[in-house]
Amino acid sequence: MFSVKPANTPLNSSISGDRRLRSITGAGNNGGLRRTHVAVSGSGLGGRGSVRAAISSGDKTVETSAAAPVQSKEVTGSLTSSSSSSSSPPDGIEVRAVVTIRKKMKEKLTEKMEDQWEFFINGIGQGIQIQLISEEVDPETNSGKSVQSSVRGWLPKPSNHLHVVEYGANFIVPNDFGCPGAVLVTNLHGKEFYLLEIVIHGFDGGTPMFFSANTWIHSRKDNPESRIIFRNQAYLPSQTPAGLKDLRREDLLSIRGNGKGERKPHDRIYDYDVYNDLGKPEKEDLARPVLGGEKKPYPRRCRTGRPPSKSDPHSESRVEKPHPVYVPRDETFEEIKQNTFSAGRLKAVLHNLIPSLAATLSSSDIPFTCFTDIDKLYNDGFLLKDEEQIEVSKFPVVGNLMKQVLSVQERLFKYEVPAVIRRDRFSWLRDNEFARQCLAGVNPVNIELLKEFPILSKLDPAMYGPPESAITKELIEQELGGMSVEKAIEDKKLFILDFHDMLLPFMEKMNSLPGRKAYASRTVFFHTKSGALRPIAIELSLPPSPSSPQNKHVYTHGHDATTHWIWKLAKAHVCSNDGGVHQLVNHWLRTHACMEPYIIATHRQLSSLHPIYKLLHPHMRYTLEINALARQSLINGGGIIEASFSPGKYAMELSSAAYESLWRFDMEALPADLVRRGMAVEDPTMPCGVRLVIEDYPYAADGLLVWSAIKEWVESYVEHYYSEPNSVSTDVELQAWWDEIKNKGHYDKRNEPWWPKLETKEDLSGILTTMIWVASGQHAAINFGQYPFGGYVPNRPTLIRKLIPQEDDPDYERFMLNPQHTFLSSLPTQLQATKVMAVQDTLSTHSADEEYLGQVNPLHTHWTNDNEILKKFSKFSAELEEIEKIINRRNKDTRLKNRSGAGVPPYELLLPTSGPGVTGRGIPNSISI
């Protein structure tokens, strides 16, 4: 056995096979005591450290002394003995395992003391057992041949990098053992540890064998079963070596669980459930319907098994902060990510608490009274009066940190100036910016080509009145400069942002909520000869009533002061509609919620040996955890989304209705979505098979570059593993995976005819490209611009509190006297605005440990041992680097008015890379925030 001290290297490193033996002595291999001093250096762990080891044969261990005389000899490859002991022992081959474990970066004193005890337990061989499993079958057991050993040797004094440590184990394996394909790890300690990888040295060929883990190893007291870690070799089910077949099956069975009982924090069990944990049935105002089922269809989420609510057997009891919602153990945030998210939460608390307390102390939640109030959020921060500071310091919920902040400085955190007003403070007022954001903003996925006129609703006219829009042909033609509506439609010059049918069924309920007033909007745009998109008419609709059977109002920009201000109010209502649909449908539903079943099915049905599992693994990171946090604090009854967006308590019901009427897997592919919306036409001569109707459509133009790169990478990957005829249709794990996604994960859509078939490698490539695009490019495009665009409240109000005053309304005179006050008092209050700004700021933040598209986490560099695949991935990475250059060039092209010009922010949301923080760019591999 041998112990290994941690190398002086950063955490983001991994053990490399390119290690060189600096000095070795030996005393033969006749079974007597061997004394060996090993100092290993090279590229492993940054190449700057050394490995000091005490190696023994049998149970006799002698720790080497640094002063022991050594003979120098260089050996490339695996750890082997010098010539005096180079031949194999009579009873087998001596091999060594290096076990790399990550420790916490910030440890409490008690945890440091526990580490020392762990070192001691490991030193005497009672902490970690590892068992090598061969790919070859033992004829006596009919399962893989195996040999077992224990980690031994305690570590010397910790290095500068306490969070990475190495241990070792020594094996004597029979000469006919064959190639090791798995390692069983048993944790005898009382608590879990995080295993980065195991590297085996000494088998034929001298090449180290990597068993990438990147997983939590549970304590045996929590679960007596050993963890199975497979070698970084991909096998289709039919190609699985005989010695690994049982382990492959057992590992999948353990991940699926039995569907019973409450899940414990150490579990890594993936199963499905409905969204029945959003409300609190015991509090009537917080009771929420179950999402998932015939009445309110929805994708499934990860099952926690918590007991039902006492008030409603159909609803699951809730877990409130700071207690975590269960997700399988390896899905939880790692320490760096946790720290980033905590910092965001703290920022949110500081931004929310002070306005909340101020509102409590003043007995009202005040609106913005002038634009200077909004500017102060960026210029001054939120300033409390002296008497309010005294009251706040007494407030029972204010902890020591808040009291320290208040005592050190009056001014708390300031918001960063959002990108949308950083270059041009008044851009948001202009029609061209309102239209530009439909193509290059945070929600560029709702605009459609207007294909028919008149504009008709598909809603039941018996309930919602006449289907015809109030936007007339005559009104539109006034804005077309002599062109007819028919000609404009034929030439693909008219576009529409249509939220009418989605929102009108909810309008009566939404407007019954205190402090909320909304319309269902339609906005028509004209694409001018200059290439600019111009809004020409806005229709705002309310449900019909006996006094107003067609309750629809149409607004245009007009040419006088009154119509200008009413036009601004109409645009604000459109932006509020857009904000709600963006957050609840395009962002939450279409990326977060719909991705969750793919992740659950991948773990349940695809072994970690499966090549498709290895392909998808980077695109699943953190998603279940962020979704669980959302159910706890964002989309829950009374949560931030309900408090801050127009639909209020009906937010998730709206999301469910959109899933039922709009969501289709086959339309989540970017080219298919663009064609469906009429924003592109099919063209086989183009790289993605589509040609954009508006060339200067930054989201689509950049998105198609990223889509094309993902598609090419996926197709080459699939071709590599599925070169044989019928290899896709006969892959039992793959077929079970796709079947489960359709029939369990998206159970309420299981009978839809549009689900793609999975019979050929082309089918598989299309399905995987769509999934990876949704997790990476699509989520990036509609998430990381939330604060850059929404951080300035007037640009994207998330709710409106007043209807537009009509001439016979009591408020109309006040509007005429002070239209600015009417506009500002229609926006979210200061508390509502600061709350949503804090959330948008957090959701727009990249963590320091973010993994971007085309990049591999340095700790995951041994994800595969297939050099052909690594070459293909390098090509994919190089293509993304080229895409970044292309996008940067486009942003400097003065002909592209939607991404360049005086005060116009460049379109960077689909630039592949980013640094940490709110950058407005970067495509993470996965939905991680």
C-alpha–C-alpha distance, residues 97 and 183, integer Å? 10
Dump the DSSP string for 846-896. EPTT--BTT---GGGTTS---HHHHHHHHHHHHHHHHHHHHHHHHTT-TT-
Among this protein's residues, is 536 annotated catalytic?
no
C-alpha–C-alpha distance, residues 910 and 883, integer Å? 9
Per-residue pLDDT for 17 more than 60?
no
Single out the catalytic residue among 122, 187, 352, 783. 783
Angle, CA of 491, 497 and 502, to the nearest 5°: 135
pLDDT tens digits, 23-61: 222 333 333 322 222 222 233 333 323 222 222 223 333
| Residue in 233, 290, 36, 241 with CA at minimum distance from that of residue 863 | 233
Higher per-residue confidence, 340 vs 96: 96
pLDDT-derived band at 835 (thresholds 50, 70, 90) equals: confident
Taken in order 716, 721, 724, 726, the sign of the CA dihedral is negative
C-alpha–C-alpha distance, residues 13 and 858, integer Å? 6
Per-residue pLDDT for 703 more than 70?
yes
Say what percent of the chain tops pLDDT 90: 69
Per-residue pLDDT for 354 more than 80?
no
| Residue in 40, 42, 68, 69 with CA at minimum distance from that of residue 52 | 40
Dump the DSSP string for 518-576. --EEEEEEEE-TTS-EEEEEEEEE---BTTBSS-EEEE---SSHHHHHHHHHHHHHHHH
- Burial class of residue 172, CB neighbours in 10 A (0-12, 13-18, 19+): middle
Range scoring the smallest mean pLDDT among 2-16, 103-117, 279-293: 2-16
Which residue is associated with the tokens 């959003």?
278
Instruction: Give me the chain's average pLDDT, please.
Output: 84
pLDDT tens digits, 456-495: 999 999 999 999 999 999 999 999 989 999 999 999 999 9
pLDDT-derived band at 378 (thresholds 50, 70, 90) equals: confident
**Do residues 770 and 824 make contact, with C-beta atoms less than 8 angstroms apart?**
no
Per-residue pLDDT for 297 more than 80?
yes
pLDDT of residue 83: 29
Q: How far is CA 197 from the centre of its chain?
A: 24
Per-residue pLDDT for 397 more than 60?
no
| Mean pLDDT in residue range 258-280 | 96
Say what percent of the chain tops pLDDT 70: 82
| Mean pLDDT in residue range 123-146 | 91
Among this protein's residues, is 500 annotated catalytic?
no
Residue 22 DSSP SS3: strand
Range scoring the smallest mean pLDDT among 129-133, 538-542, 674-678, 840-844: 840-844
Which residue is associated with the tokens 């954001």?
437
pLDDT-derived band at 546 (thresholds 50, 70, 90) equals: confident
Per-residue pLDDT for 124 more than 50?
yes
Dihedral (Cα; 883, 889, 890, 893), 10-degree rounding: -170
pLDDT of residue 617: 96
Structural domains of the chain in order of their starting residue, each with its CATH number: 93-256 (2.60.60.20)
| Residue in 147, 167, 177 with CA at minimum distance from that of residue 55 | 167
Among this protein's residues, is 527 annotated catalytic?
no
Q: Is the bond leading into 454 cis (omega within 30 degrees of zero)? A: yes
- CA-based end-to-end distance of the chain: 43
Among this protein's residues, is 55 annotated catalytic?
no
pLDDT of residue 765: 98
pLDDT of residue 360: 43
pTM, 2 dp: 0.87
Range scoring the smallest mean pLDDT among 11-15, 115-119, 384-388, 848-852: 11-15
| Mean pLDDT in residue range 839-844 | 89
| Mean pLDDT in residue range 532-542 | 97
pLDDT of residue 77: 28
Output DSSP code: residue 98. E
pLDDT of residue 113: 76
Higher per-residue confidence, 908 vs 73: 908
The pairing of beta strand 193-201 with beta strand 93-102: antiparallel
pLDDT-derived band at 69 (thresholds 50, 70, 90) equals: very low
Range scoring the smallest mean pLDDT among 107-111, 324-328, 542-546, 602-606: 107-111
Single out the catalytic residue among 587, 617, 746, 846. 587
| Residue in 589, 600, 587, 639 with CA at minimum distance from that of residue 301 | 600
**Do residues 25 and 69 make contact, with C-beta atoms less than 8 angstroms apart?**
yes
**Do residues 823 and 475 make contact, with C-beta atoms less than 8 angstroms apart?**
no
Which residue is associated with the tokens 């890594």?
268
pLDDT-derived band at 111 (thresholds 50, 70, 90) equals: confident
Indicate the residue type of 232: N
Among this protein's residues, is 592 annotated catalytic?
yes
**Do residues 123 and 151 make contact, with C-beta atoms less than 8 angstroms apart?**
no
Per-residue pLDDT for 252 more than 70?
yes
pLDDT-derived band at 71 (thresholds 50, 70, 90) equals: very low
Higher per-residue confidence, 78 vs 86: 86
Taken in order 620, 624, 626, 630, the sign of the CA dihedral is positive
Per-residue pLDDT for 543 more than 90?
yes
| Mean pLDDT in residue range 192-218 | 92
Alpha carbon distances (Å) from 444 to 654, 782, 883: 20, 8, 20
C-alpha–C-alpha distance, residues 828 and 805, integer Å? 17
Single out the catalytic residue among 161, 592, 617, 846. 592
Single out the catalytic residue among 527, 573, 617, 779. 779
pLDDT tens digits, 712-770: 999 999 999 999 999 999 999 999 999 999 999 999 999 999 999 999 999 999 999 99
Alpha carbon distances (Å) from 73 to 16, 39, 77, 79, 153: 20, 11, 13, 12, 24
pLDDT of residue 166: 85
3-state DSSP of 697-764? CHHHHHHHHHHHHHHHHHHHHHHHHCCCCCCCCCCHHHHHHHHHHHHHHCHHHCCCCCCCCCCCHHHH
